[in-house]
Amino acid sequence: MQTYFLRTIAADYEQMIALGVTLGAIVHTPHSERTYEREIYESILVELRPGEEGYGDEDYDQAWTTSVPTGRFETVTEVTEERIHAPGGCWDYIGPIYVPTGEVIETDFGPQPVMTPRTDAQGREYIHVNLITPVNLKEAAQALAAAHPEVAAGLANLSKYFLVDADGNAVAPNMPHRVFAT
């Protein structure tokens, strides 16, 4: 299993998702809505029996019902929420990570630090995600780079999606905000 600490600015988040899908590390089910007409059914009583002695339900009547169409229809909207998962692993969306600015304000609960989100050099807020996957992202990206220019571009600029060391290699943060239990 491989563990990755992903981060990107909000404007590049969808592209990071698409790359993860292309590399085979994640599956993305986008938000969708479907509206349609469906017939309304009602339950009607088929049989009512008094509770039977000795079965613990003598105080309760037993009712058998069936559903029958009413001839009336209703408009229904089914909503599928966006879902991202890592087959054989885990997708842990964190979102922005807030750090103290050094300033303190007085509140009803006493002094509280002023917090600000982690940002890139241009002040754009980072979105953070932890990923455990059986897929080695570097090997998968290298194998697909020739056929997928977007993967080659991601390999050429790892800092767009990862914390990198001085040599441009993806690394784990010194003090991760959240980690997986092992």
Q: What one-letter code names the amino acid at 94?
A: I
pTM, entire model: 0.72
Per-residue confidence (pLDDT) for residue 59, from 0 to 100: 60
Let me know: does 134 contact 2? Beta carbons within 8 Å: yes
Q: Classify strands 2-9 and 126-133 as parallel, antiparallel or unpaired.
A: antiparallel
Full pLDDT tens readout for the chain, 182 residues: 989 999 999 999 999 999 999 999 999 999 999 999 999 999 988 877 776 665 555 566 677 889 999 999 999 999 999 999 999 999 999 999 999 999 999 999 999 999 999 999 999 999 999 999 999 999 999 999 999 999 999 988 888 999 888 888 888 888 888 877 76
Output the six-digit token pair for 133. 């996957």
Residues 6 or more apart whose CB falls under 8 angstroms from that of 19 comprise 150, 151, 154, 161
Output the six-digit token pair for 124. 């754009």
Let me know: does 151 contact 19? Beta carbons within 8 Å: yes
Per-residue confidence (pLDDT) for residue 90, from 0 to 100: 94
Strand partners, 85: 27
Per-residue confidence (pLDDT) for residue 181, from 0 to 100: 73
| Domains of the chain, residue spans | 2-31+83-160, 34-79
Query: Where in the chain does DSSP place strands (E)?
Result: 2-9, 27-29, 32-49, 62-80, 83-85, 90-95, 98-107, 110-117, 126-133
HSE-CB at 6 with a 13 A cutoff on CA atoms is: 30
Per-residue confidence (pLDDT) for residue 61, from 0 to 100: 66
Distance of CA 143 to the CA centre of its chain: 27
| Residue-wise DSSP of 129-160 | EEEEESS-HHHHHHHHTTT-HHHHHHHHTGGG
* Distance spanning both ends of the chain, measured CA to CA: 12
